[in-house]
Structure 1
């Protein structure tokens, strides 16, 4: 068993398991911070801090991926009454002020179904801005043809606005073959233009921050935020009541797309079926259909060796997902490349071991190097996964190490950190 390593970064200690910076104990530092907070009190109260509400067309009790991030940022931001909101109106093609966020809160709770014709209108965002205002932008702007043009116009009219953009990943630039050419091209174009209007890049991992500096702007101001791992943190209606699996199973959460590397799991479970026979656990895949995944889904569900061992669930609610995490043997996340790897993070948050690939941000999440594998090597992955299945005592020992090596992070703590970065 490997204890989490720590590294010293300029007077702060960073935990390997979470990559979270923890200031060292220092009474002088504490006194300085307290004085600084008192001195900045009036300044912060006067500072306009704006949060973009984005990707809300996929909000509700079953969000995934980027919508899960933007929904949780919005939910947790509501605790700070002085914050103000705006969003990009896709029909009017402009940024507008949100006077009352109740409509968007209802979307998050599942009390309303998204309809673009019901979106609340508002005054022009540019008219409400004061000099020096901070704006957090988080939209997938490539999905809206006029978004970047309007952002440029906003910068010209309001040069004092600090534009801070949440960057999830640069996969479309690094690995364009994981997307269709049309979609990938739109994402690439948007990301490459972003440095023209962005003052600060809010990145969801150190891996993404490194990619921003390598591929977008060498001297970019990048900040890293640690996102939350608690899934069922929204009081949502329409809770899914489907029972969890009544058999031993391994869980894999993620959109069914080529980048998530379900093909590796097909090879692994095919070999497991041959080696373990009736003792082979099932593989439960949770995720919506995505890019270029039809062939592997067909193989998983039609190969006589795997068909009876694989179950695919779509549109799983937050409540059901938590139950699946708690009831599975362990989870697996073989993705080729991630901006973060939220399902792996959530698995550990709920105390379940996750066998992951060893690329991009996943080493920032997985505290156990022995449980990582090359995503292009299905034999290596097979060895790791078979060991966890055949050696329950070893699996149990890894589970007992999770509280010692993994520092759980809630969405509330995530937003508190994000807010401090915004006003810094």
Structure 2
């Protein structure tokens, strides 16, 4: 069976200095499908504004190289500035976080349009016009990013015209199960995404057993169960553990990683830290908040920017290179995940794969992937979190040492494991005879969608 990976998100996100977890997943899938010894005859597709671009594999390989290098380096100017701020905050010598390049007064984040043009140049202009043929009838369309599922008319026409089966990777259903933690429009948007999946999927992969259960419950409630739903934990970068050495600081510090949004529960963590500073003064441990500012976070930002008590005990960072982040985690007493809800939790797995202890919320998804290694604390137990931080900050902490011993038995999920599950699912789908698309998804006849060397339109 021919596989067709939708790389629309990867193309759009190629302009960013730092990836999200979903970006890393689409990159991993593209890498997997580019290897003919693993998958024969894979195709790649990018969709935008009613057009579908069939992208030759060599162009995708060039795009991946461009994107991976950009993400590894972060934004040179901002990353260097953040690294220098971190060194001062943690009492380190300049350059402790490695050589990330000088800060230029004239350096600026490239505009979105300029960065996208650069990505398109890498993808489209590096060797003549596109000449990849369109997806063959009966191929398997693979979407691992939720990209384009909320406005599905274009995708539905593509699936119908080319008689494609569809396989989706679902990351979470949080806007449906916990709408209070999402932006107001996101509940309806995610409901449309899941309706697209339920209306077109031959099978679904979930990033955890928890997500698989929640999705199956949603499908049953909608009266539209999917034939097969499998859980395949996401892997981590195999080079992560050897990418950087830890830093040694004169004062203990902790790290929390995640977009500053309500479900990540930064607000409780900041109250815990104020409690610690009020009781322990200058000897209280420090907190490094890593993540971009998201939405509905005014209370958190007010504390970050205006709380005098926290003063020199808190720093916020958003543009760290991968190397700096790994060094930062390795030097910490623990990485903290106080979330109210998660679908998976890739940074938690990455921390433990580095041998770094984790203190995490006692929620189903994190308990599943943590394999009984982290210390789990209820996300609303402020005193429990404060005590855990105090215990781990101690120079010879028995509680921390116990987790370090447990980490020795932790087996991080690998991308090879994930793709074994994926490949087996593809083989099962290939053995199932093709079916006609649902009548509601069959587009009206239109112009030829398979013209060589040009994008094809799926507009009616």
TM-score bracket for this pair, using the shorter chain length: 0.7 to 0.9
Q: Are the counterparts in 1 of residues 4 and 45 from structure 2 also a CA contact under 8 Å?
A: no
The structure-2 alpha-carbon separation of the partners of 1:233 and 1:123, relative to structure 1 and needing over 3 Å to count, comes to farther
- Whose RCO is larger (CA < 8 A, sep 6+)? 2
The structure-2 alpha-carbon separation of the partners of 1:196 and 1:268, relative to structure 1 and needing over 3 Å to count, comes to same
- Tell me the residue number matched to 1:49: 3
Q: Are the counterparts in 2 of residues 351 and 399 from structure 1 also a CA contact under 8 Å?
A: yes
CA distance in 2, matches of 1:68, 1:188: 24
Q: Equivalent of 1:72, from 14, 17, 28?
A: 28
Q: Equivalent of 2:47, from 59, 82, 89?
A: 89
Instruction: Report Cα offsets for 1:300-333 as digits up to 9, x if no partner.
Output: 3421221211111112221112111211111110
The structure-2 alpha-carbon separation of the partners of 1:240 and 1:378, relative to structure 1 and needing over 3 Å to count, comes to same
Q: Is 1:229 matched with 2:185?
A: no
- Tell me the residue number matched to 1:137: 143
Q: Equivalent of 1:200, from 184, 190, 203?
A: 203
The structure-2 alpha-carbon separation of the partners of 1:95 and 1:174, relative to structure 1 and needing over 3 Å to count, comes to farther
Residues 11-50 of structure 1 aligned to structure 2 (within 5 Å) = 47-50=1-4
- Tell me the residue number matched to 1:104: 63
CA distance in 2, matches of 1:97, 1:327: 42
Instruction: Report Cα offsets for 1:193-240 as digits up to 9, x if no partner.
Output: 3200011111000110011111124643111112113375699xxx99
Report the 3-state secondary structure (helix = DSSP H, G, I; strand = E; otherwise coil) of the residue aligned with 1:150.
Answer: helix
- Tell me the residue number matched to 1:114: 116
Q: Are the counterparts in 2 of residues 244 and 324 from structure 1 also a CA contact under 8 Å?
A: no
The structure-2 alpha-carbon separation of the partners of 1:398 and 1:234, relative to structure 1 and needing over 3 Å to count, comes to closer
- Tell me the residue number matched to 1:62: 18
Q: Is 1:395 matched with 2:354?
A: no
CA distance in 2, matches of 1:283, 1:206: 32
Cα distance, 1:416 vs structure 2? 4.0
Instruction: Report Cα offsets for 1:86-145 as digits up to 9, x if no partner.
Output: 2332245336344431342122322994337646385797x43243x3332123335874
Unaligned runs of 5+ in 2: 72-113, 429-460
Report the 3-state secondary structure (helix = DSSP H, G, I; strand = E; otherwise coil) of the residue aligned with 2:408.
Answer: helix
Q: Are the counterparts in 2 of residues 232 and 319 from structure 1 also a CA contact under 8 Å?
A: no
Greater Cα offset, 163-172 or 255-264: 255-264
Q: Is 1:190 matched with 2:196?
A: no
Report the 3-state secondary structure (helix = DSSP H, G, I; strand = E; otherwise coil) of the residue aligned with 1:114.
Answer: helix
Unaligned runs of 5+ in 1: 1-46
CA distance in 1, matches of 2:67, 2:250: 32
- Tell me the residue number matched to 1:4: none
- Tell me the residue number matched to 2:298: 294
Report the 3-state secondary structure (helix = DSSP H, G, I; strand = E; otherwise coil) of the residue aligned with 1:295.
Answer: helix
Q: TM-score, normalised by structure 1?
A: 0.78
Q: Equivalent of 1:269, from 268, 273, 284?
A: 273
Instruction: Report Cα offsets for 1:26-63 as digits up to 9, x if no partner.
Output: xxxxxxxxxxxxxxxxxxxxx31232224223247631
Q: Are the counterparts in 2 of residues 54 and 70 from structure 1 also a CA contact under 8 Å?
A: no
Cα distance, 1:363 vs structure 2? 0.7
